[in-house]
């Protein structure tokens, strides 16, 4: 294995590690929101610091590899795609923190409703991240496309959440504060899914040289 191949393998491994950290953040966000686990919210915040640190390290690493090795064609496309994906991975982690923080605040009061749809969105997003990791680690375009397709259900569930919460607000003005917070949570989850979708698009560009 030459030096460039070694560098590419290490960039792949560290990007997978960053995605895995975000996967852990999403799981902690679920515990904070669904189980009203206040400690999980704090752990999610701490975990996000590791995501941010790894992003900084990887950005410098990728630019260094490009400068030192002068890769071409598919290798250069991979490094460029990963450099762009880092921002989306980091932002996905940020939205997990937003969900966890909101969950901590919501835990102070009895839930307005069961968070069935939100729990389902989180399940989908965890599956999306798992599939995205497989796509990256195995250079698997089909896996990236499968992960992309999962976002449609998230959008449908988000619209359903919006309709339901607006109904709560119209029927009982006392629910407005709590429902507004839950609307924000739904938006955070929807945006988190969008960033995972973007990551898959970067992976597909690397593998196929085509923009989705």
pLDDT at residue 157 greater than cutoff 80? yes
Short-list 90, 201, 72, CA closest to 135: 201
Whole-angstrom Cα Rg for the chain: 19
Short-list 99, 81, 120, 96, CA closest to 198: 81
Render 98-118 in DSSP notation, one character per residue: HHHHHHHHHTTS--SS--HHH
175 C-beta neighbours (distance < 10 Å), count: 17
Determine the Cα–Cα distance for residues 137 and 82; give it in Å rounded to an integer: 12
Cα–Cα separations (whole angstroms), residue 74 to 1, 10, 171, 201, 204: 17, 16, 57, 15, 12
**Is the C-alpha dihedral spanning 79, 84, 86, 92 positive or negative?**
negative
Mean pLDDT of 121-144: 98
Mean pLDDT of 104-130: 95
Determine the Cα–Cα distance for residues 29 and 17; give it in Å rounded to an integer: 18
pLDDT score, position 187: 98
Which CATH number do you get for residue 86? 1.20.58.220
pLDDT score, position 212: 80
Cα–Cα separations (whole angstroms), residue 1 to 9, 66, 75, 145: 10, 18, 14, 30
pLDDT score, position 116: 95
Instruction: Give tens-digit pLDDT for 31-64.
Output: 999 999 999 999 999 999 999 999 999 999 999 9
- pLDDT bracket for residue 1 (50, 70, 90): confident
Tokens coding 16: 């997978």
Question: Phi-psi bin for 53: left (phi > 0), alpha (psi -120 to 50), beta?
Answer: alpha
Mean pLDDT of 61-79: 96
Number of domains, the chain: 1
pLDDT score, position 156: 97
Determine the Cα–Cα distance for residues 60 and 55; give it in Å rounded to an integer: 9
Q: What is the mean pLDDT of the chain?
A: 96
What share of the chain has pLDDT > 70, as a percent? 100
Determine the Cα–Cα distance for residues 34 and 111; give it in Å rounded to an integer: 10
pLDDT score, position 47: 97
pLDDT at residue 2 greater than cutoff 90? yes
pLDDT score, position 90: 98
Q: 181 lies in which domain range?
A: 3-208
DSSP conformational letter for 175: G
């Amino acid at each position: 294995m030459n030096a460039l191949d070694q560098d590419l393998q290490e960039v792949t491994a560290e990007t997978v590690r960053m995605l895995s950290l975000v996967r852990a953040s999403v799981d902690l966000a679920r515990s904070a929101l669904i189980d009203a686990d206040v400690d999980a919210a704090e752990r999610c915040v701490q975990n996000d610091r590791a995501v941010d640190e790894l992003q900084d390290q990887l950005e410098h690493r990728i630019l260094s590899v490009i400068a030192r090795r002068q890769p071409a064609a598919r290798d250069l496309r991979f490094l460029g795609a990963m450099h762009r994906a880092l921002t989306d991975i980091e932002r996905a982690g940020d939205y997990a923190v937003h969900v966890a923080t909101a969950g901590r605040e919501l835990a102070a009061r009895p839930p307005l409703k069961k968070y069935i749809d939100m729990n389902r969105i989180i399940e989908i997003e965890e599956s999306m991240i798992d599939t995205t990791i497989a796509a990256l680690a195995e250079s698997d375009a089909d896996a990236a496309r499968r992960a992309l397709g999962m976002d449609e259900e998230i959008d449908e569930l988000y619209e359903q959440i919006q309709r339901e919460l607006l109904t709560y607000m119209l029927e009982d003005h006392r629910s407005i504060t709590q429902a507004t917070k839950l609307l924000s949570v739904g938006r955070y989850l929807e945006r988190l899914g969008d960033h995972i979708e973007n990551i898959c698009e970067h992976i597909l560009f690397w593998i196929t040289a085509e923009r989705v």
